[in-house]
Amino acid sequence: MAVPNCDEQYPCTNCTKHAIQCSYVERDISTPAETPATRSESLASSYGPSPLNAESYPVTPAGSSGAVGDTKPKSESRSGLLQFLSDSPGEIPLLNTDDWASDLELMHHYCTVTCNTLTIREDSRHVWRVILPVEGYSNRYLMHGLLALAALHRAYLFPTQKERNIKASAYHQAAGLKEFRELISSPIDPSNWQPVFCFASMIMVYVCASPVRLGEDRWPAPISNMVELFSVVQGLQTLMEPWLHSLRRTRLAPLVNCVWLESEMLIASPAGMQQSLLPPDIQVRISQLHRFVDDYPFPHIQPQSHQNLSASDGLPRPPDHLADYKRSLKFFENSTRQIELAGPHVEVGMVLMWAYSLSKHFRDDMEACHPAALVLLSHWCVLLHIVDDSWFIKGTSLQLLEEIELKLNPGFKEWLIWPKRWVLGK
3-state secondary structure the chain: CCCCCCCCCCCCHHHHHHCCCCCCCCCCCCCCCCCCCCCCCCCCECCECCCCCHHHCCCCCCCCCCCCCCCCCHHHHHHHHHHHHHHCCCCCCCCCCCHHHHHHHHHHHHHHCHHHHCCCCHHHHHHHHHHHHHHHHHCHHHHHHHHHHHHHHHHHHCHHHHHHHHHHHHHHHHHHHHHHHHHHCCCCCCCCHHHHHHHHHHHHHHHHCHHHHCCCCCCCCHHHHHHHHHHHHHHHHHHHHHHHHHHCCCCCCHHHHCCCCCHHHCCCCHHHHCCCCCCCCHHHHHHHHHHHHHHCCCCCCCCHHHHHHHHHCCCCCCCCHHHHHHHHHHHHHHHHHHHHHHCCCCCHHHHHHHHHHCCHHHHHHHHCCCHHHHHHHHHHHHHHHHCCCCCCCCCHHHHHHHHHHHHCCHHHHHHHHHHHHHHCCC
Do 143 and 235 fall within a single domain? yes
**Does pLDDT of 172 surpass 90?**
yes
pTM: 0.77
Average pLDDT over residues 417-425: 95
Within a domain: residue 362? yes
Q: What is the pLDDT of residue 33?
A: 40
Report residue 301's pLDDT band, with 50, 70 and 90 as the boundaries.
low
One domain for residues 84 and 209: yes
Shared domain for 126 and 240, answered yes or no, is: yes
Is the pLDDT at 14 greater than 80? The verdict is no
Domain co-membership, 324 together with 203: no
Task: Tell me what pLDDT residue 321 has.
Answer: 86
Question: Quick check: 51 pLDDT over 90?
Answer: no
Confidence of residue 62 (pLDDT cuts 50, 70, 90): very low
Residues 254 and 284 placed together within one structural domain of the fold: no
pLDDT of 2: 43
Q: Decide if pLDDT at 49 tops 90.
A: no
212, 237, 258 - which closes a domain:
258
Encoded amino acid at 261, one letter:
L
Task: State how far the Cα of 106 lies from the Cα of 117, in Å rounded to an integer.
Answer: 15
Of residues 263 and 424, the one with the higher pLDDT is 424
Tens of pLDDT, residues 375-399: 999 999 999 999 999 999 999 999 9
- Residue 230 pLDDT more than 70? yes
Enumerate residues 6+ apart whose C-beta is below 8 A from 389.
Answer: none
Q: How high is the pLDDT of residue 236?
A: 86
Q: Is the Cα dihedral 37, 42, 46, 51 positive or negative?
A: negative
| 273 Cβ neighbours under 8 A, 6+ residues apart | 280, 282, 283, 340
Q: What is the number of structural domains in the chain?
A: 2
Cβ proximity of 262 and 19 under 8 Å: no
What is the C-alpha to C-alpha distance for residues 380 and 328, in angstroms, rounded to an integer? 11
Say if residue 245 is in the same domain as residue 332: no
Q: What is the mean pLDDT of residues 221-243?
A: 91
Instruction: Give the pLDDT of residue 299.
Output: 81
Assign 228 a pLDDT band (cuts: 50, 70, 90).
very high
| Residues 180, 286 share a domain | no
Look at residue 242 in the predicted model and tell me its pLDDT: 87
Round the CA-based radius of gyration of the chain to a whole number and report it: 22
Q: Are 333 and 184 contained in the same domain?
A: no
pLDDT at residue 162 tops 80: yes
**Per-residue pLDDT band at 34 (split at 50, 70, 90):** very low
Contact 340, 269 (CB under 8 A): yes
Instruction: Count CB atoms within 10 A of the CB of residue 270.
Output: 8
Sign of the Cα pseudo-torsion (187, 178, 104, 152, in order): negative
For residue 164, is pLDDT > 50? yes
Residue 66 within a domain = no
Q: Write the single-letter amino acid at 324.
A: D
pLDDT for 18: 40
| Residue where one domain finishes, among candidates 209, 236, 258 | 258
- The mean of the pLDDT values for the chain is 79
Sequence-distant (≥ 6) Cβ neighbours of residue 278 within 8 angstroms: 336, 339, 340, 383, 386
pLDDT of residue 186: 87
- Note whether 284 and 206 are same-domain residues: no
The CA–CA distances, whole Å, from 281 to 168, 270, 330, 336, 402 equal 45, 11, 17, 12, 22
**Which residue did the predictor score with more confidence, 323 or 318?**
323
Domain hosting 163: range is 76-258
Lowest-confidence pick of 27-41, 128-142, 295-309, 331-345: 27-41
> Can you give the length of the chain in residues?
426
Q: Is the pLDDT of residue 57 over 60?
A: no
Burial 328-352 (b: 16+ CB within 10 A, else e): bbebbbbbbbbbbbbeeebbbbbbb
Q: Report the alpha-carbon distance of residue 129 to residue 149 in Å, rounded.
A: 13
- Mean pLDDT over 347-357 rounds to 92
Residue 83 lies in a domain: yes
Claim to verify: residue 280 and residue 241 sit in the same structural domain? no
Give me the mean pLDDT over the 363-372 stretch. Answer: 96
pLDDT above 90 for 416: yes
On whether both 242 and 384 belong to a single domain, the answer is: no
User: Does the structure show a pLDDT above 50 at 23?
Assistant: no
Same domain, 236 and 274: no
pLDDT beyond 80 at 133: yes
384 within some domain: yes
As a whole-number percent, the residues of the chain with pLDDT over 70 amount to 69
Indicate whether 113 belongs to any domain: yes
Long-range contacts of residues 244-248, Cβ cutoff 8 Å, at least 24 apart: 247/197
What's residue 226's pLDDT? 96
- In the beta sheet, which residues pair with residue 48? 45
60 domain-assigned: no
